[in-house]
Amino acid sequence: MAFEFPDRVPLARIPTPLHRLDRLSKAWGANLWIKRDDLTGAALSGNKIRKLEYEMAEAMRVKAKFVITCGGVQSNHARATAIAARQLGIEPHLVLRTPDGKPPTEWDGNLLLDRLVGAEITWITPEQYRNERGAIMAGIANRLGAAFVIPEGASDARGALGYVAAVKELAEQSKAAGVDFAYVAHACGSGGTSAGLAIGNAIFDAGMFPVAFAVCDDESYFKNVIGGIVKEFAATFGGITDPAAAKLSIVDRYKGVGYAQSTAEELAFIREVATAEGILLDPVYSGKAMFGVKQELAAAKTFRRGAPICFLHTGGIYGLFPKRFEFGF
C-alpha cells in the first residue's frame, strides 16, 4: 500500500544493519536475527531517534524555541531529545523523575550527556510523574513560550511514524537477505515503537508480526496505550482504515523486579549475549526483552518453532554505566 510520510528531519544513521545471530541461534535452537537500531548514531543511539525525526520536524515547522519532554532519570528518550534539540538550535528542557524528586548525587550515563549539552531539568517524584507530568510540562511550556512538548518516549501518532518507516526499511532488507521474518521481537516501555511496528506491518502487509516484551506495567495497560496511539495515527495520518488491523502480541512476563531494576540473572544474561555475539544489550529495555525471547523459545511459547525472528535492538547502551557496580566485576 502507498503511504505518504510527512516531513522528517534526518537525524538517524539509517538504514541500520540487519544480520543473523549465528551463535545464539545455534545455542537456542532458533533462527534469530537482529536489527541494529542501537546503531542509529553515537550520542543519538537507539530507537528514539527514528521517532524524533518526525517530532523535531514538527517542532521546527511551528518555529519552537524550546522542546520539552519527560522520562526517568536515565531516560534514553530524554537524552536523545536534548542532543537532537541542540543539533537543531533548539533549547531542551527535561522533566525527570527520581525517587525523592531531587537531583541525584551522581551524574552518570544518559544524565551525564543531558548535563553536557546543557539541558534544563525539572525534578519530580514518581507520584508527580504518574499524575501530573502532562500538566507540569504544559506549565513549563506556558512559562517559556514558543515551546513544543513531546510526550514520554515520543510515543504518540507522530512519533510512531518512525517505526512505520522502519517496517518498510526492514521489509526491503529482509527481501535482500532472502529471509521472511515471522516475528519482530522488541522491548516495550511506552508503546510508541510497538504501535509503529504494528501500523507499519498493516500498511505494508509485511507479514512480520510484532511481539512486544513489556519492561513495565502489563498487557492490559499496553493494549490500551498502543490502541490509543493507533487510533490517533489513523485519524491523523491515515494509512489504515481499521485500527484493529494493527495487530501485535504483548508479553509481560519478563519485567523482573521492576522498571530499570535488574536481577543477577538478567545481568548475567547481558554478559552471555555480549560474550557470544559482541552485542551490548541494555539493562532497562533490550536486555529484558532478549531474555524474554530466550525463555519463550525454551518453553516453546509465543514463537513458532524454526520461524525466523528479528530482534529489534532499541539501544540504551548508556544505561549500562550506572549499573557498573551491579555486574560485580
Active site residues: 75
Q: Do 232 and 246 meet the contact criterion of CB atoms below 8 Å apart?
A: no
Q: Do 267 and 283 meet the contact criterion of CB atoms below 8 Å apart?
A: yes
Instruction: Provide DSSP, 146-191.
Output: SEEE--GGG-SHHHHHHHHHHHHHHHHHHHHHT---SEEEEEESSS
Residue 30 CA, distance from chain mean position: 24
Q: How many CA atoms lie within 13 A of 125 on its CB side?
A: 4
Query: Which residue has cell 536486555?
Result: 287
- In the structure, how many helices (H) and strands (E) does the chain have? 10, 10
Cell of 45: 543511539
C-alpha 256/C-alpha 279 separation (Å) is 21
- Give the type of residue at 111: L
- Which residues, 6 or more positions from 277, have their beta carbon under 8 angstroms from its beta carbon? 21, 23, 24
